[in-house]
Amino acid sequence: MDRRADAIAAALGEAGDVAFVRAPGRVNLIGEHTDYNDGWVLPMALDLDCLAGYRPRVDRVVNVVSLDAPDDIAPWTEALLAALAEEGRKPAGIDAVLASTVPMGAGLASSGALSIALGLALCRVSGLELEPPVLAEACRRAEERATGVPCGFMDQMVAALGGPREPLLIDCRSGSVEPVALPADAAVVVVDSGVRRSLSDGRYAERRAACDAAAARIGVPSLRDATLEEVADDPVARHVVTENERVGRMVGALRAGDLEGAGAILTEGHRSLRDDFAVSTPEVDALVEKLLGLGAHGARLTGGGFGGCVIALVSRDRVPHVDRVVCVC
């Protein structure tokens, strides 16, 4: 545990023992805006996490406090209670306090970590055990209801399943998960662009609506089923189709220990997000170019876009010295 545990225990008071659960944030190596298109993603859990301390109550009152965002937690709590009730959770009281080291608005899934940590605590006081994919989907529904953002379930899946330095190849249609090891000489550097982002401002929903419209126009269930020829004249859909292909190539490159090839795929993915999907910013683009100039094998924005963090794939003996490094994995 860390100092947050003491702060959480102090906030809960001295009424009894405190139990703890945690859920990590994530960085997505490749596979951006493919999850809600039934595609493939390759995210990895971070050492940064949301820590929840809790104790059950004898009544059915639910008290949840966030030490980071006290004004924003009520909608999450209500949405999570409703989603977990749909999975069989019986009413049970809880006092819970949350504290997170995952920076908000940085594209590192702070909300996914929060929802899984709180969801685990709510399940445990009620005696409900859910398989990680079921819990992840319940938390995804809760996040969509709480924020209005039609998100995929990648973030919640990683928060429920992921471990440090263990990328997970997730098939977002079947829900299957396959670990993909990072080469021993590889490091992933996460750098904050300094541009805060919010997926609830409508631009994320606009991109998802464009993807749904493209699939309907082509006549396929989702863009996962589209061919490059079918989307050649549609930049938004073209990004999704080519990004799914990049996920497969990235898995092959990592398994072969080909850092140069894997880095080239990262940079290719950034250009697609910048030029076709149009979710980058000048500050993010400049940071990508800076990291490449400092010797990174590849770099790109990570997360939904419109700001947040950039990731760079580097050799462990050549980690660049730049400002606003969030973590090195």
The per-residue pLDDT for range 67-106, each reduced to its tens digit, is 987 667 889 899 999 999 999 999 999 999 999 999 888 8
Catalytic residues, by residue number, are: 155
Q: What is the dihedral of CA 95, 17, 129, 41, to 10 degrees?
A: 80
Residue 296 reports pLDDT greater than 80: yes
Q: Please, is 216 exposed, middle or buried when counting C-beta atoms within 10 Å of its C-beta (0-12, 13-18, 19+)?
A: exposed
Q: Which two tokens stand for residue 224?
A: 């996962």
Residue 31 reports pLDDT greater than 90: yes
Q: Quick one: average pLDDT of 97-119? A: 92
Q: Which of 85, 305, 313 is nearest to 201 (CA)?
A: 305
- At 211, which amino acid appears? C
Q: Which of 186-200, 216-230, 298-312, 315-329 has the lowest mean pLDDT?
A: 186-200
H helices present in 197-302, as ranges: 203-218, 228-231, 235-255, 259-275, 282-293
pLDDT band at 313 (very low <50, low <70, confident <90, very high): very high
Residue 179 reports pLDDT greater than 60: yes
pLDDT band at 129 (very low <50, low <70, confident <90, very high): very high
d(CA 49, CA 107): 14
- pLDDT of 202 reads 77
Residue 170 reports pLDDT greater than 60: yes
Q: Which of 110, 170, 78 is nearest to 326 (CA)?
A: 110
Per-position DSSP letters for 151-200, written without gaps between them: --SHHHHHHHH--BT--EEEETTT--EEE-PPPTTEEEEEEE-S----GG
Residue 42 reports pLDDT greater than 90: yes
Higher pLDDT: 175 or 83? It is 83
Q: Which two tokens stand for residue 278?
A: 């149009």
Q: Are 243 and 39 in contact (CB under 8 A)?
A: yes
What percentage of the chain has pLDDT greater than the value 90?
Answer: 80
Computed over every residue of the chain, the mean pLDDT equals 93
Residues 6+ away with beta carbon under 8 Å from 278: 235, 236
Give me the residue spans of the domains in the chain. 3-178, 182-328
- pLDDT of 200 reads 56
- pLDDT of 199 reads 61
SS3 content of the chain, % helix, strand, coil (to 5): 45, 20, 35
- pLDDT of 162 reads 78
Q: Which pLDDT tens digit goes with each residue over 257-280?
A: 999 999 999 999 999 999 999 999
- pLDDT of 126 reads 96
Neighbour tally for 290: CB within 10 Å: 17
State which CATH number among 3.30.1220.10, 3.40.1160.10, 3.30.70.890, 3.75.10.10 fits the domain covering 182-328: 3.30.70.890
d(CA 235, CA 74): 38
Q: Which of 46-60, 153-167, 237-251, 300-314 has the lowest mean pLDDT?
A: 153-167
- pLDDT of 164 reads 77
What percentage of the chain has pLDDT greater than the value 70?
Answer: 97
Residue 299 reports pLDDT greater than 90: yes
Residues 6+ away with beta carbon under 8 Å from 11: 53, 65, 67, 97
pLDDT band at 16 (very low <50, low <70, confident <90, very high): confident
Residues 6+ away with beta carbon under 8 Å from 19: 53, 54, 55, 121, 124
- pLDDT of 205 reads 85
- pLDDT of 266 reads 97
d(CA 281, CA 286): 9
The upper half-sphere exposure of residue 192, i.e. CA atoms within 13 Å in the direction of its Cβ, equals: 15
Give Cα separations from 247 to 33, 227, 252, 307 (angstroms).
Answer: 12, 15, 9, 22
Q: Which two tokens stand for residue 117?
A: 């940590």
Q: Quick one: average pLDDT of 108-137? A: 95
- pLDDT of 197 reads 66
> What CATH number has the domain spanning 3-178?
3.30.230.10
Q: Are 82 and 145 in contact (CB under 8 A)?
A: yes
